[in-house]
Amino acid sequence: MNLAELTLHEAAAQLRKREFTAVELTESVYQRIAETDERVHAYLTLARESALKEARRADERLKKEGADAHDLLGIPIALKDNFLTKDLRTTCASKILGDFLPPYEATAAAKLRAAGAVIVGKANLDEFAMGSSCENSAFFPTRNPWDLERIPGGSSGGSAAAVAADQCIAALGTDTGGSIRQPAACCGVVGLKPTYGRVSRYGIIAFASSMDQVGPITKNVRDAAILLEAIAGHDPADSTSIERPVPSYTEALTGNLRGLRIGHSAEFFVDGMQQEVALAVNDAMLKMESNGAIIDHTMLPHTEFAVAVYYIVATAEASSNLARYDGMRFGHRAAANDLAQTYMMSRAEGFGAEVKRRIMLGTYVLSAGYYDAYYLKAQRVRTLIKRDFDEAFRHCDVIVTPTAPTTAFKVGEKKRDPLQMYLSDIYTISANLAGLPAISLPCGFDDQGMPIGLQIIGKPFDEETVLRVAHAYEQTTEWHSRKAKLESKN
């Protein structure tokens, strides 16, 4: 077996037994990147030299720590390129940050390094995390390892594609409206969005600050639990970070669903969704029921407004967050004759079409005369969506839905129709608006051989139950063990 094909927990166990070294594992990952990334385009920046140094240090620690070594010690991990990494290029897939070298590190990245993880490189994304297909990158689109003519999902498309193609052992992404879960579904891997405040956002390039959240993308549920446990916890540098203990998420993986109530909401099964997706999700719930769970029908009546609310709130916050990119303090600066022209030309040259569209939408809904009609009203409906979930969780432990209405679509298919692209996140947005934890994992394949994603949404800070349900279902199927048939170029 190629070492790059190992899961995180398999690799960790074998590293501790010294069956191979962290250097050998890292070299195997870079060999896989060399063989496949000319076609997948998962990475924007590789960090081979520093990664091999980290791997050598990990091997020294492994000799000393042995069986007591951290699960992440020596594990090659990819970071979405909106994580600040000290002295390693961070672009957010935008020309405006094309050569930016951050002076400090994101907290999540720092936690990985402290645990001994090896940072392989920075993965591609939709520019400033704005997109559902990884086609909005200023540099190049990423391709789906299952079918190179299809998108990998977005905005964490590079991270999901890298995991699916065995170009890393695991990855981190960010999720503002589904940007971890939707690409995980498209690429047949596991993606977890934690509760808002569970993982520090410090050092993450902001898109929509009230919804952005960091989370793992992995090959199976156990790996997601391991990675979440490493990055979770209070951070004084993040004012939205919650001060509460981090449980052992792996201990929640009992495989037992007996007595748990699984919510099923008709609002997530809408006209236009792919029939194979509906059938696969319904079959998954039947498997959960046969494993002892109780299926409970519940109502989330304001779900239909989630997309509209999201694209008002998120664009408003994006307009505010992206105002700092003015061509003066850092990033791209246009050659202009005066200050006002420098501002305008720097932003015009530095931002792509989708980012400009969202800045303009956000500026409009925040403007005088429209704030009450749009932004304030959207915030009120957001509260109603949150209340729907509060009510549902009075009698359900989790809610199960599709992750996306369809499997991965063809590259370019929706590029000219922003509204159709926005609807790709129709099932994932609600969890962000309500600040809830949610996971996506494979639950089948369509007749074109493309993966189908199952979403499990939980109560605030109840990632344990979300992971427990996901793991128990995963153990009854073999979907997670299937590999994309991406042959080496040699």
> Do residues 83 and 106 make contact, with C-beta atoms less than 8 angstroms apart?
yes
pLDDT category of residue 204 using cuts at 50, 70 and 90: very high
Distance, in Å, from the CA atom of 410 to the CA atom of 407, rounded to the nearest integer, reads 10
Residue that the structure tokens 């967050």 belong to: 321
The answer, yes or no, to whether the previous bond of 265 is cis (omega within 30 of 0) is no
pLDDT digits over 348-382, tens only?
999 999 999 999 999 999 998 899 999 999 999 99
Q: Given a cut of 70, is residue 102 above it in pLDDT?
A: yes
Token pair of 258 as six digits: 């007996």
Distance, in Å, from the CA atom of 114 to the CA atom of 108, rounded to the nearest integer, reads 10
pLDDT for position 21: 98
Residue type, 100: F
Q: Which H or E run includes 445? A: strand 438-445
In order of start, what are the domains of the chain with their CATH numbers?
3-258+466-481 (3.90.1300.10), 304-365 (no CATH)
Q: Reply yes or no on whether 209 is catalytic.
A: no
pLDDT category of residue 490 using cuts at 50, 70 and 90: low
Q: Which H or E run includes 62? A: helix 48-65
- Alpha-carbon dihedral sign for residues 220, 310, 450, 168: negative
Residues above pLDDT 90, as percent of the chain = 92
DSSP string computed for 287-329? HHHHTT-EEEEE--TTGGGHHHHHHHHHHHHHHHHGGG-SSSS
| Phi then psi dihedrals of residue 440, to 5 deg | -120, 135
Decide the pairing of beta strands 261-265 and 398-402.
parallel
Q: Given a cut of 80, is residue 447 above it in pLDDT?
A: yes
pLDDT for position 488: 66
pLDDT for position 43: 98
Residue that the structure tokens 């696969």 belong to: 280
User: What distances in angstroms separate CA 310 from CA 286, 322, 387, one per listed residue?
Assistant: 32, 17, 16
Token pair of 472 as six digits: 């128990």
Q: Choosing from 28, 80, 133, 241, which is the catalytic residue?
A: 80
pLDDT digits over 220-244, tens only?
999 999 999 999 999 999 999 999 9
DSSP string computed for 262-275? EEEEGGGS-TTS-H
Q: Choosing from 28, 137, 155, 424, which is the catalytic residue?
A: 155
Q: Choosing from 179, 200, 265, 319, which is the catalytic residue?
A: 179
Token pair of 420 as six digits: 């159709």
pLDDT for position 420: 85
Distance, in Å, from the CA atom of 171 to the CA atom of 75, rounded to the nearest integer, reads 10
> Do residues 128 and 82 make contact, with C-beta atoms less than 8 angstroms apart?
yes
pLDDT category of residue 423 using cuts at 50, 70 and 90: confident
Decide the pairing of beta strands 214-218 and 170-174.
antiparallel
> Do residues 281 and 257 make contact, with C-beta atoms less than 8 angstroms apart?
no
Average pLDDT over residues 253-275: 93
Q: Given a cut of 80, is residue 346 above it in pLDDT?
A: yes
pLDDT digits over 157-174, tens only?
999 999 999 999 999 999
Distance, in Å, from the CA atom of 158 to the CA atom of 355, rounded to the nearest integer, reads 18
Q: Reply yes or no on whether 122 is catalytic.
A: no
Residue type, 33: I
pLDDT category of residue 149 using cuts at 50, 70 and 90: very high
Residue that the structure tokens 């040699």 belong to: 490
Q: Reply yes or no on whether 200 is catalytic.
A: no
Nearest to 80 by CA among 186, 232, 212: 212
